[in-house]
Structure 1
Amino acid sequence: SWGCQIFSGHDPAHVEDASALVVTAAVPQDHPEIQRAREIGIPVMKRAEALGGWVNQGTVVAVAGTHGKTTTTAMATEALFAAGMDPTGFVGGRVLDWESNLRFGSDKLFVVEADEHDRSFHHLRPTVAVLNNLEADHLDIYGDLDGVQEAFEAFLDCVHADGQVVACGDDHGVSRLLAGLGRPTRTYGLNPGAQLRGIELRQEGGGASFQIVESGESRGEITLQVPGRHNVLNALGAAAAARSLGAGWDEIAQGLASFKGVSRRFQVLGEVGGVTVVDDYAHHPSEIEATLDAARDRFPGRRLVAVFQPHLFSRTRDFADAFGKALAGADVVWVTEVYPAREDPLPGVTGVLVAQAALASGACDVSFHASLEELPEALLPSVEAGDVCLTMGAGSIEFLGSDLLAALEDRHAERGGVS
């Protein structure tokens, strides 16, 4: 509908009439279309560079952080739209209301997910920068936490001189970064020192609600359709961004209340025979911990069965112990083999490391099953009525939930519809 010509498959001929070739980090440099573009002099640019070239022509709200970028970006877009603006929102996941990762608006206002991988966010020139959190990640690129912090410092240097930085004061990594920033910053969070603060948190049904306090003044209640303390913080970051552009509190509350969520972010896929299946993109130890905490809030008293597919050999090597500790928060733990994505295998690095770490962290019921395809049938004896099964990871595990529901349907039918 936008006049784009879509090709299926890979062929050097696809680039012959192109003005430029835009590639993501997942595409190897020896790809035949990239090689052909270079042979005939067609510029090859990273996706992040192309995105910056587009959005930097307008007002940019850039949402950065190790976690929560997609949800916060989508929330901020909805809040600004409710306030009478018509922003373009661009995120790394499928927003349920948009049925896409893109909401195309008519204003020259762009709310974008600022990806730190490979320093992609350095191509943005934000008017408002949101900083959710800062932890060690992408250590194959940055080496250590100091390297990550330096990349975020450089990102904040990209903010316009008269722009606004809003940052989560609850996060230790963010606080460490802000201490040496040398520019005014607006903080949000749950702690008493935050300029924009959430208080009186309540988990209600499938979502959460809280009271907003801005500079000591009560601003009313925010109700969310998504659960968890982490989503309250995401909403506070989105609200702070919207306030920086003049949105009123009634409109912000309306926009946040309308937000239904993002695909693979605590997405309840269904329930069969009393077993609820939830899918989440969690692929970092802190994200697993937040997802399990949200599940405890959303489904109190129910047994949690965590199924995790590690993502990247380097990340598995660097965080195996932390993954195990986070997964030990579930009642039952299943680990499958590493999803390699862009990486080649590393000697001795497999999903077994994570399973062993979960056992060492006190988990009592831990299983490793290398084959994702066979996992639904392997899982069946472990799940019964009342359980919540959470599939987590950034790779092909996204398809496991629907396969598990189908297996549960078959079992339910075999039992004569009795749970």
Structure 2
Amino acid sequence: MFLKIKRIHFIGIGGIGMSGLAELLHNQGFQVTGSDVSEGYQVRQLMESGIRVTVPHDPAIVEGADVVVTSSAIPAENPEVRAAEANRIPVIPRAEMLAELMKMKYGVAIAGAHGKTTTSSITGMILTEGGLDPTLVIGGVLENMGSNTKLGLGDFLVAEADESDGSFLLLSPTIAVVTGIDMEHLDFYQDMEQIKKDFLFFINKVPFYGTSIICMDDDHLVSLLPQIRRNVITYGLSSQADVTARNLVLDGMATHFDLYYKGDAMGSFTINIPGRHMVSNALASIAVALELSIDPQKVRTGLAGFTGVKRRFELKGREAEIPVYDDYAHHPTEIRATLSMMRERFNGRIIVLFQPHRYSRSAHLMEDFGRAFFDADTVIVTDIYPAGERALEGVNGEVMAATMGRYGHKGSCHVPSLEDGAQRAAQEARPGDVIITMGAGSITRAGQMIIEAIRTK
């Protein structure tokens, strides 16, 4: 495989997508090295597995590499990138490496603005239960495995397709799942029409013997259906979907539903992760399984055994009868879905500590963020996590909190730091309330801060 390639170097190896790919290649016998700006959880995990990681970036480390892989967060002026180019070492995006791996398997690529990680994870669980032993490259750590990657011996590779920089168009999967399209990554895309155009191109890259699996609940995707030139299976809560769920019953943190496939009743199924949006994710995975002729009982067992993904409504702990959750939601659509689910399941007040992610996203979607938190009683907004971006004038956490107030939210406020936010959330909470931290940046550290602050107040 890869002919004479022996050593593969990852710049930004600590990213969740990069770390999974690095671990997978390491497990296949390649010499993998990497670098990052800090020694976070994923970096430590890779080091423990035997991968040499340099912190911070060092141009000398690329010497001797046969290829250098970069994430979308790595700028062209990165010193390691420049050193590799000066030494004529190929520098490729992560998606290109994933595309090469996918050529050696039947690829199942999960794309879409929201729900990719959960859908990929459930799909991996069901295919594993069905005896297909897939290789997995997931953008989150599966609770069932304690990892975001698995090297399987079967013929299938399940992976997320990252549309943030258009690199998902490098992939040529046998099965392409699209969970939805939204106004996102507007630092790269000009408008919704460009986003839809790229997704349509991705869907139509499926080979003639493959299948596209499309969410019927998404109006943007429905508008593309007449232009799709490949076999299509639709899924969703819409009665018009090929794979749909009826008679949803909430049962604590679980949801039971009756499954229908092209009008035929398939029996009762259970997902032990709360939320209607999670049922939709499950339906996408079920559609993949049915397309691959996996026995419905295996599908049922695999779905019921799925215990979640870290940072997707993850319970961090409980103190003084106050549960503290952490969630990756960082887009208004995701925030509304998570808070709506919480409002259905909790009787107490909902307190949110939110860290906006990226100045570009905050600027483009400021008004939407202002209307996204109505199901929360209190919203504490921190300063924006830049993710490598430069600050934009007039775009900050204080403005976002004020925007929420302008739209009528009576409990929004701003604090500068995670530490201040954790203290504020702890002081605000009383027994019976529920606290959730939200965002895609460093906010995940705040859950334990809140628990400690409640314990000592």
| Within-5 A mapping of 1:12-91 | 12-91=59-138
1:106 match: secondary structure: coil
The letter for the 2-side match of 1:155 is F
What's the offset of the Cα at 1:120?
A: 1.7
- 2:211–2:230 Cα contact (<8 Å) kept: no
Query: Which segment is superposed worse, 384-393 or 348-357?
Result: 348-357
Q: How many angstroms apart in 2 are the aligned matches of 1:115 and 1:147?
A: 15
1:347 is aligned to 393
2:235 match: secondary structure: strand
Q: How many angstroms apart in 1 are the aligned matches of 2:167 and 2:144?
A: 26
Structure 1 residue aligned with 2:456, among 405, 410, 416?
Answer: 410
What's the offset of the Cα at 1:288?
A: 0.1
What's the offset of the Cα at 1:360?
A: 2.0
The letter for the 1-side match of 2:436 is L
What's the offset of the Cα at 1:379?
A: 2.3
Q: How many angstroms apart in 2 are the aligned matches of 1:65 and 1:285?
A: 15
Deviations 1:316-373 (A, max 9, x none): 0011111111112211111111110021111111112221221122211111101122
Deviations 1:81-119 (A, max 9, x none): 111110011111111112111122111310111111111
| Within-5 A mapping of 1:248-259 | 248-259=295-306
Deviations 1:213-233 (A, max 9, x none): 111111011111100000000
Matched, 1:204 2:251: yes
1:160 is aligned to 207
- 2:258–2:268 Cα contact (<8 Å) kept: yes
1:187 match: secondary structure: strand
- 2:311–2:326 Cα contact (<8 Å) kept: yes
Q: How many angstroms apart in 2 are the aligned matches of 1:178 and 1:337?
A: 40
2:383 is aligned to 337
Q: How many angstroms apart in 2 are the aligned matches of 1:103 and 1:80?
A: 12
1:142 match: secondary structure: coil
The letter for the 2-side match of 1:75 is I
- 1:165–1:185 Cα contact (<8 Å) kept: yes
1:398 is aligned to 444
Q: How many angstroms apart in 2 are the aligned matches of 1:262 and 1:154?
A: 29
The letter for the 2-side match of 1:362 is G
Deviations 1:22-44 (A, max 9, x none): 01111222222111111111100
Query: 4+ residue stretches of structure 1 with deviation over 4 A?
Result: none
What's the offset of the Cα at 1:296?
A: 1.8
1:314 is aligned to 360
| Within-5 A mapping of 1:83-162 | 83-162=130-209
1:178 is aligned to 225
Q: How many angstroms apart in 2 are the aligned matches of 1:91 and 1:183?
A: 25
1:110 match: secondary structure: strand
- 1:207–1:298 Cα contact (<8 Å) kept: no
- 1:60–1:111 Cα contact (<8 Å) kept: yes
1:326 match: secondary structure: coil
- 1:309–1:393 Cα contact (<8 Å) kept: yes
- 2:402–2:413 Cα contact (<8 Å) kept: no
Q: How many angstroms apart in 1 are the aligned matches of 2:80 and 2:98?
A: 20
What's the offset of the Cα at 1:175?
A: 0.7
Q: How many angstroms apart in 2 are the aligned matches of 1:409 and 1:148?
A: 46
- 1:328–1:361 Cα contact (<8 Å) kept: no
What's the offset of the Cα at 1:155?
A: 0.8
Matched, 1:360 2:394: no
- 1:59–1:126 Cα contact (<8 Å) kept: yes
Q: Unpaired segments of 5 or more residues in structure 1?
A: 412-419
Give TM-score, length-normalised by structure 2.
0.87
Instruction: Point out which structure has higher relative CO (alpha carbons under 8 A, 6+ apart).
Output: 1
- 2:327–2:439 Cα contact (<8 Å) kept: yes
- 1:308–1:393 Cα contact (<8 Å) kept: yes
Q: How many angstroms apart in 2 are the aligned matches of 1:180 and 1:7?
A: 45
Q: How many angstroms apart in 2 are the aligned matches of 1:172 and 1:342?
A: 33
Deviations 1:41-60 (A, max 9, x none): 11000011111111122100
The letter for the 2-side match of 1:303 is R
What's the offset of the Cα at 1:205?
A: 1.7
Distance verdict in 2 for CA 1:207–1:23, change over 3 Å: same
The letter for the 1-side match of 2:314 is Q
Q: Sequence identity, in percent?
A: 38
Query: Which segment is superposed worse, 392-401 or 2-11?
Result: 2-11
What's the offset of the Cα at 1:162?
A: 1.7
1:97 match: secondary structure: coil
What's the offset of the Cα at 1:291?
A: 0.6
Q: How many angstroms apart in 1 are the aligned matches of 2:155 and 2:357?
A: 36
Matched residue count: 410
- 1:329–1:363 Cα contact (<8 Å) kept: no
Q: How many angstroms apart in 2 are the aligned matches of 1:356 and 1:154?
A: 40
Matched, 1:242 2:285: no
Give the root-mean-square deviation of aligned CA atoms. Answer: 1.3
1:307 match: secondary structure: strand
Structure 2 residue aligned with 1:267, among 299, 310, 314?
Answer: 314
The letter for the 2-side match of 1:84 is G
1:117 match: secondary structure: coil
Give TM-score, length-normalised by structure 1.
0.95
What's the offset of the Cα at 1:259?
A: 0.6
The letter for the 2-side match of 1:265 is R
- 2:109–2:175 Cα contact (<8 Å) kept: yes
